[in-house]
Structure 1
Amino acid sequence: MDTVLFLTILVVVFALLFDFINGFHDTANAIATAVSTRALPPRVAVLMAATMNFIGAITFTGVAKALAKDIVDPFSIDNGVIIILAALLSAIIWNLVTWYYGIPSSSSHALIGSLAGAAIAAAGFAVLNYEGFIKIIKALIYSPFIAIVAGFIMMSIFKVLFKDLNLYRTNKGFRRLQIFTAAVQSFTHGTNDAQKSMGIITMALIAAGLQTGDDIPMWVRIAAATAMGLGTSIGGYKIIKTVGGKIMKIRPVNGAAADLASAAVIFGATQLHLPVSTTHVISSSIMGVGSAQRVKGVKWGVAKKIVLTWIITLPTSAIMGAAIFFVLNLFI
């Protein structure tokens, strides 16, 4: 078999593996609040999330197209398939390590950092498409802050609208609402996160000379959506515990507010064709909701650890991507 074709097949396999891992790594993001408030049993929540992730993943392609060309131009790079393979291996390793320790790290940061690092190792800093790359980095940086504000505003609105209602009845009603908000959250997760693997596979097909345009083939869309759905069905219960309880004590009204705020931010990014970290957005919206209720009620020590992980993911994954590229390049 031709070496380039073999490497392209490996990229497809590892991209789908990344999507699968991303599914159980990021499942917690969509359903953590619903599980922590007992609006849904964990098994039901995970199965619902898997279904809605799949639907969301096959519905949109804008983020995938942006990722396929905005970081590195696949039409102009040598060793393109090796670069992409190195990036995938780096991102998978980072995802597994952070999942093992229950840290809600960003799969998006890991993949984008790894891809940039591997590309720079192969062809220097000039290989980056700086306009597109900076646009993506800005989206990754700004989205958590937007989510904090959105969570704060959403919770403030809820406080005004439902201030005169009986607390027990309000919580009961919001538990029911959370079934809907968790479904919406899972759908928006699929519209953004699953597309990253679609973009990577398409980028590899272009770099290997097997495709001439940046359209996302239907088989790629279905394969990536299926991989994420299957991964989601396994669930990431360690991260559910962190996102759903360690940032703040979540009641149903808090969970519904956080879900709606973060879903709006994620879907807005999808419409703008910008990849964002669902982990960052959802964790940040919970912080915003907690701040609107009681600033001291947010466990800022845990929040600081999460933020620190966010900060180190990009440079660490870039270094890992570069190192793995050098190792692969020795043998291929």
Structure 2
Amino acid sequence: MILQIRDLSISIRGQEIVTIDCLDLAAGQRLGVVGESGSGKTMAAMSIAGLAPGVVDVKGSIRLNGQETIDMTDRQLAASRRGLVGVIFQDPQRALNPMMRVGRQVAEAIRLHRRQSRAHIRARVLELLEQVQLPDPQKLMRRYPHQLSGGQRQRVMIAIAIACRPKLLIADEPTTALDATVQKEILELINDLSVQHNMGLLFVSHDLGVVRAVSEYMAVLYGGRLMEMGPIGHVLERSRHRYTEALIASNPGRVCVGTSEIGLGRRFIPIEGNVPSPGAFPQGCRFRGRCRHELPACVEEPRLTLLEDGHAFRCWNPTIMREAESHGSAC
């Protein structure tokens, strides 16, 4: 496994904001992490990459390629990530250095982790810019980020992320600020790169249509809790958790991939209320109070139900339930 998470707890000043019992990602697998804003998606992703802010306290176990990263020093984390983890940030305009030419920024990502001659690094930079399908790499590498379009900046960000051939690629809502046409191109590029290089992909998004386009598996977060996970077709077509059901109904997103248009095909029904602030979630199921199907039992934390097909969820009143289904560990 490229990524193994067990009993992960992420807190700020003693307030727990993310809890993940277990989550695995193998080489070449593509996992989409979805949920509303404030669900803990980005915080979980940045903690996995070792890039959480200093005020964040991370406990439990995060193993990258079999190596435990919890409690590592910054120097040890930097060494462990070398050639292992690449990150595509949400806003490339803020992530890229406005004072450095594009080619130099891509070269820096290589030079920090690989001892190579200038000629080899330059050749690798041109190779990467071509790989992410940027036009005229020789000319583009001499430009500054502000001289590029939003889609081109995101492609440069992808080139930096894959510069050292990582085994795990983390993409934090990489298409949020892009128009539909550019979004489609970036999604296809990320998907193709994952397949070509057998990279595990952790794709964070609030858009189910986008996640459906690039992912094989799906994990649903709400209030920092893992509500449901499994093969993406099973989760979207036969969702069990009431939050997943509500999230699908409230997301009319459609996305084109290749010649196929993927649409969720559901009537738009908004989720009532707002996501509570950390510390203000109700006791028991965190979706309680916004759920249309709440039961008295929901005042207690739901147990995890594991199905035979690898589909897992925690809900006292699931959309579908069979007597043969039992409660247990998903890992």
TM-score (norm 1): 0.24
Higher relative contact order (CA 8 A, sep 6+): 1
Q: Which has the higher strand share?
A: 2
Query: Which one has a bigger Cα radius of gyration?
Result: 2
TM-score (norm 2): 0.24
Q: Which has the higher helix share?
A: 1
